[in-house]
Amino acid sequence: MANCIADITVHERFRGAGVGRTMLEWVLREAASRAEMRYASMHVSGSNVGAKRLYERMGFRTKNVQRSRFMAWLFGEKEWNYMIHEG
């Protein structure tokens, strides 16, 4: 059975204050406490360089980069990094 968190966002006023790191640490710790968790993954917009840097520092690696006209139309962002953190 897969578990999913659809979105995590930090209000721009609080970015850079460690809020995102704290939330992600909690999510990874909680997920690791469950025996069925093998990996965590996410899509990060190509323009969100700060978030991508944070995720890399926390052990996530880019598995592939996806480009989509549909995603560009839907979210205004054509390029998405699929990132994974293994166990």
Order of strands, sheet of 39-45, starting from the edge strand that comes earlier in the sequence: 39-45, 79-86, 61-67
What mean pLDDT is reported for the chain? 88
Mean pLDDT across the stretch 49-77? 93
Question: How many distinct structural domains can be found in the chain?
Answer: 1
* Chain center to CA of 62: 10
3-class state of residue 19 by DSSP: helix
What confidence score (pLDDT) does residue 19 get?
94
- Is 59 among the domain residues? yes
- Is 72 among the domain residues? yes
Q: Which domain holds residue 41?
A: 37-87
- Is 21 among the domain residues? no
β-pairing verdict for 39-45 and 61-67: unpaired
- Is 83 among the domain residues? yes
Residue 14: is its pLDDT beyond 80? yes
- Is 15 among the domain residues? no
**Half-sphere exposure of residue 22, counting CA atoms within 13 Å on the CB side?**
7
- Is 41 among the domain residues? yes
- In order, the DSSP letters of 48-84 are -HHHHHHHHHTT-EEEEEEE-HHHHHHHS--EEEEEE
At 35, the pLDDT band (50, 70, 90 cuts) reads low
Q: Convert the pLDDT of each residue in 36-57 to its tens digit.
A: 778 889 999 999 999 999 999 9
Tell me the residue type at 44: V
- Is 25 among the domain residues? no
Residue 11: is its pLDDT beyond 80? yes
Residue 64: is its pLDDT beyond 90? yes
- Is 10 among the domain residues? no
